[in-house]
Structure 1
């Protein structure tokens, strides 16, 4: 049987928490920040938790890093 590989793009973009949720960077911060309100920029700091249907797809890309 062959080994299942992790998708390299997924391991660079996502992290799995100890409870099994998927953390992702906030979207909408790359360019055009002058148009955005200060409140929106503050809200977009840090990481976000991915929705369950999307997290299921991402977890299939990362079979070796599943916890919980």
Structure 2
């Protein structure tokens, strides 16, 4: 049987931690920074743990 391929889009968007959690970059950090407070942009720059329902799908795309 052939090897399973990792989804190219998923491997660019998600990373897996040592404990197996899936991390993602938060949205709304690309432009229009004048309207966003510094506090908000700092918070958005941190990676966030993916929700359990979404993590199940992402794991399958990453071949885990």
Q: Same fold (TM over 0.5)?
A: yes
More relative contact order in 1 or in 2 (CA 8 Å, sep 6+)? 1
- RMSD between aligned residues: 1.1
Query: Which has the larger displacement, 39-48 or 14-23?
Result: 39-48
**2:39 matched residue in structure 1:** 39
Total equivalences in the alignment: 64
User: TM (normalized to structure 2)?
Assistant: 0.89
Structure richer in helix, relative to its length: 2
2:3 maps to 1:18: no
Q: Which aligned runs of 4 or more in structure 1 are off by greater than 2 angstroms?
A: none
Q: Distance in 2 between matches of 1:15 and 1:43?
A: 19
2:60 maps to 1:60: yes
Structure 1 unaligned regions, length at least 5: none
Structure 2 unaligned regions, length at least 5: none
